[in-house]
């Protein structure tokens, strides 16, 4: 069932503003980078789910699949190549001011690509209609937020990581817990 009061509150706090504020909290940047680099998590989608969670909402799995595929293509075709170029130039940027400037330009473009992606996620949530409800009232318990995020993002169960990769598995678990610890409890309905 659509919750128009909560959807109105989503409009009052744009996803981009939420993402910037959350990312600035202690441990969140490193948690997001760990989840991105070690577990293949789309950080924009992760931030989207955190935004919904803080408003007491969740995305419906069925409609989520289509937008996830669309946003994944954006990440693969636009954001990831910019990130790869920026990261690849890091050693050369230390030796050359002009390459350092180029790297900063690529970083600006990467951030703009992420902002565009977040705006698409937000628009999808706000267009939740009576015919196809995409966002519903969430029932996630604060104590289960790390596991809920993992399950929502359709990651492999952490047990599926090889025993040789226990450090990676522990890093991923710690990253989800660090992120979850910075989220505020769901707002109660007004």
pLDDT digits (tens, 9 = 90+) for 101-148: 999 999 999 999 999 999 999 999 988 755 567 887 777 766 688 888
pLDDT at residue 166 in the model: 73
Mean pLDDT across the chain, nearest whole number?
85
Minimum mean pLDDT range among 58-62, 96-100, 115-119, 132-136: 132-136
pLDDT at residue 83 in the model: 96
Say which residue the tokens 């817990």 belong to.
Answer: 177
pLDDT at residue 130 in the model: 52
Which pTM does this prediction carry? 0.85
pLDDT at residue 63 in the model: 87
Question: In angstroms, rounded to a whole number, what is the distance separating the alpha carbons of residues 183 and 142?
Answer: 9
The two tokens of residue 143 are 């104590």
pLDDT at residue 1 in the model: 41
Domain ranges of the chain: 4-181
DSSP E strands in the chain: the ranges are: 57-59, 135-137
Question: In angstroms, rounded to a whole number, what is the distance separating the alpha carbons of residues 67 and 65?
Answer: 6
pLDDT at residue 89 in the model: 97
What phi, psi does 146 have (nearest 5°)?
-60, -45
Average pLDDT over residues 80-94: 96
Say which residue the tokens 């050693």 belong to.
Answer: 91
What phi, psi does 110 have (nearest 5°)?
-65, -45
């Amino acid at each position: 069932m659509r919750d128009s009061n909560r959807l109105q509150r989503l409009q009052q706090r744009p996803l981009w503003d939420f993402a910037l504020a959350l990312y600035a909290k202690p441990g969140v940047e490193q948690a997001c980078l760990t989840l991105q680099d070690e577990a293949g998590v789309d950080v924009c989608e992760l931030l989207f789910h955190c935004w919904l969670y803080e408003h007491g909402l969740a995305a419906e799995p069925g409609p989520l699949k289509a937008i996830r595929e669309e946003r994944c293509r954006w990440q693969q075709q636009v954001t990831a190549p910019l990130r790869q170029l920026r990261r690849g130039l890091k050693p050369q940027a230390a030796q050359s001011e002009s390459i350092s400037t180029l790297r900063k330009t690529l970083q600006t473009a990467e951030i703009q690509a992420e902002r565009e992606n977040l705006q698409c996620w937000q628009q999808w949530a706000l267009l939740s209609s009576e015919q196809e409800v995409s966002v519903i009232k969430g029932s996630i318990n604060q104590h289960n937020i790390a596991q809920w995020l993992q399950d929502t993002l359709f990651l492999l169960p952490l047990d599926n990581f090889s025993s040789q990769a226990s450090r990676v598995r522990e890093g991923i678990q710690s990253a989800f817990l660090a992120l979850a610890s910075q989220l505020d409890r769901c707002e109660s309905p007004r």
